[in-house]
Homo-oligomer: A and B are copies of this chain.
Amino acid sequence: MKNIKLIISYRGTHYCGWQVQTNGITIQEIIEKAIEQLTGEQTNLIGSGRTDAGVHAIGQCANFLTDSTIPPEAFYKALNTKLPDDIRIIESQRCDQSFHSRYDAKGKSYVYKICEEHVVSPFTTDLAFHVADSLDWKAMKEAAAYFIGEHDFRSFMASGSSVKSTVRTIEEISFDKNDSLREITFKGNGFLYNMVRIMVGTLYEVGRHRIASHDIQKIILSKNRSLAGITAPAYGLYLKEVYYAN
């Protein structure tokens, strides 16, 4: 059996997220079916992590085992012929037999897109969070600096989630601007459930002066979800890259 690693890009709009579930079509399921069509094999496609309904991916990573004779580096082309336009395999390669997309992930980066226009652009309706007024980006950048480093991010985790530890390290947060589209990129060793969307929702409150930049530190220390901002909409979020040891 060969272990094949895929890099996947998808527009999450029409799916109930990554992971197979009973009440809607998911990306994992669509790709598993495409693999079955090609190879005749039922496989378990292991993703680096779930993405929620409406969340997009630029470089999701997943792996699966196969006995197929299709050359590993040609798998992406073959799979794309069986997949809908809004799911594309960017790359495929054979990886170590022991490689596991989820367990071996050392970190991830996410991009969150915000569109500042008085009218929602027809080209980014489901691809960015639209805000009608200009945000105070200087204050937002100051606020973002408080997230950098190792912190207990309990205040930025969706209530009801359970994990062993809520301590995570954010290595980098960067801001980019392209016309009316703003991008905030987060890189870290791991993210709690809804963590990026709650951090963005909190920065958004800073941007409209409902929360002061220097209050971020207090909100982190409070370990109280209700002090942080809204959960920013799923459709502005993109899983950008998954990092592995080599």
Contacts and interface: CB of A to CB of B under 8 A. Distances in A.
Interface of A: 9-11, 56, 76, 80, 85-90, 118-123, 125, 127, 178
B90 A125 contact: no
A56 B123 contact: yes
Contacts of A121: 9, 88
Counted per complex, copies of this chain come to: 2
Among A122, A123, A125, the one with the most B-chain Cβ atoms within 10 Å of its Cβ is A122
Contacts of A120: 85, 88
A237 to B, nearest CB: 13
A178 to B, nearest CB: 6
B88 A10 contact: no
A122 B76 contact: no
A152 to B, nearest CB: 35
A122 B11 contact: yes
A127 B119 contact: no
A10 B85 contact: no
B90 A123 contact: no
A76 B119 contact: yes
Given A9-B121, A56-B123, A88-B121, 20 more contacts: A9-B122, A10-B122, A11-B122, A11-B123, A56-B122, A76-B119, A80-B119, A85-B120, A85-B122, A85-B125, A86-B122, A86-B125, A87-B122, A88-B119, A88-B120, A88-B122, A89-B119, A90-B119, A123-B127, A178-B178
A1 to B, nearest CB: 26
26 contacts: A9-B119, A9-B121, A9-B122, A9-B123, A10-B122, A11-B122, A11-B123, A56-B122, A56-B123, A76-B119, A80-B119, A85-B120, A85-B122, A85-B125, A86-B122, A86-B125, A87-B122, A88-B119, A88-B120, A88-B121, A88-B122, A89-B119, A90-B118, A90-B119, A123-B127, A178-B178
A168 B76 CA distance: 46
